[in-house]
Every structure is written in structure tokens, then in C-alpha cells.
Amino acid sequence: MKTLTDYVWFETKQKRELVRITDAVAERVTKSGVQEGMALVSAMHITAGVFVNDDEPGLWADIWEWLQHLCPEGPDYRHHRTGEDNGDAHLKSLLIHHQILVPITKGKLDLGPWQAIFYAEFDGQRRKRMIIKVMGE
């Protein structure tokens, strides 16, 4: 069995930002030498997410709007009594989910033609980390 573990750091310019990471994941899979297996891609923070969807800017705007609607920003979260102001970012992370698992076949990410991988930052402008863990043989 082979494994590879790598950490990817982000420091987004915006508080909310979507970062394409398909190539970053593919690069680690190649480096791992794994031909058949899986790659776990998981945010290491609780105010960010990782998801698979279409690489289409109009859709991105739709996704942000939808997340703002279902997990609104506001001053009313109990979490803010700790001094934080990012309650909505925690809920967005739960809704989008913080991780995905990508199948690896014949040494490559086995994704459908329109599947792209994104890191979704919900409370950025500071250094945050994501793990890529590849496992297989």
C-alpha cells in the first residue's frame, strides 16, 4: 500500500472565495505513484468547505447567493458571544461539507467530464490549511 500526505495552504484576499484545486489534487496523485485508490481532500478548518461541481462562474455566483440565503450572515448567532463573528461560515461549512473523496483509476483522478474540485473559503483573509491524503497501490 502507498500513501501520500500533503497540506495545501490558502490565504484568500476576500473573506469568501472559491479556489479551483483540481490540478493541485491531481499533482499529489501523480506524485504518490498510486494507480488504484482514493484521494481524500479535506479542509482542516471549520469555516471552509471542499466540494465537486461545475467550473462555471455564473453557477458560482448562484451557489454563493444560495449559501447566503440558507446560512445568513448576522449578529444574532450565539457563537458570537465568544467574540467571533463568523457563525454563518460554520453553517456554510456544514451545508457544503468539508471534504470529498476522489477515486483514482490508472493513476489519474477518475472524475466525470464536468466535475471540478473547489476549496470554498467562508472566512478567509488569514492562513488556512487543507489536507490531501492519497491511499492505494
For the CB of residue 96, give the shortest distance to its own copies in the complex, in Å. Answer: 6
Is 46 a binder of its own copies (CB under 8 A)? Answer: yes
Q: Which of 49, 55, 47 is nearest to 22 (CA)?
A: 55
Is 40 a binder of its own copies (CB under 8 A)? Answer: yes
Is 70 a binder of its own copies (CB under 8 A)? Answer: yes
For its own copies, give the closer residue by CB, 15 or 90. Answer: 90
Is 38 a binder of its own copies (CB under 8 A)? Answer: yes
- C-alpha cell recorded at residue 85: 463573528
For the CB of residue 111, give the shortest distance to its own copies in the complex, in Å. Answer: 7
For its own copies, the binding residues (CB under 8 A) are 1, 3, 5, 36-38, 40, 42-46, 51-54, 56, 58-59, 61-63, 66, 70-71, 77-82, 87, 90-91, 93-101, 103, 105, 110-112, 114-115, 129, 131, 133, 135-137
